[in-house]
């Protein structure tokens, strides 16, 4: 859970100003969360 909170905080701070860049950031965050949840199982 701590990893998820840290990733959300980093994504919020590092979000790009453009919609396209923000979409990439959100996609990357989703991939990170998926990987972490698979490792936890």
| Model confidence pTM above 0.85 | no
Contacts 24+ apart (CB under 8 A), 8-16: none
Residue 40 pLDDT > 80, yes or no? Answer: yes
pLDDT at position 14 is 64
Spell out the residues 6+ positions from residue 11 whose beta carbon is closer than 8 angstroms to its own: 25, 26, 28, 29
pLDDT at 19: 66
What pLDDT digit, counting tens, does each position of 18-37 carry?
667 778 888 988 998 899 88
Domain boundaries, the chain: 2-40
Give the whole-angstrom CA distance, residue 9 versus residue 3: 10
- pLDDT at residue 18 in the model: 65
Q: What pLDDT, in 10s, does the model give residues 2-15?
A: 888 877 777 776 65
In angstroms, the CA 10 to CA 36 distance is: 16
């Amino acid at each position: 859970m701590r990893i998820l909170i840290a990733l959300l905080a980093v994504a919020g701070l590092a979000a790009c100003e453009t919609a396209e860049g923000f979409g990439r950031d959100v996609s990357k965050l989703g991939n990170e969360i998926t990987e972490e949840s698979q490792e936890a199982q």
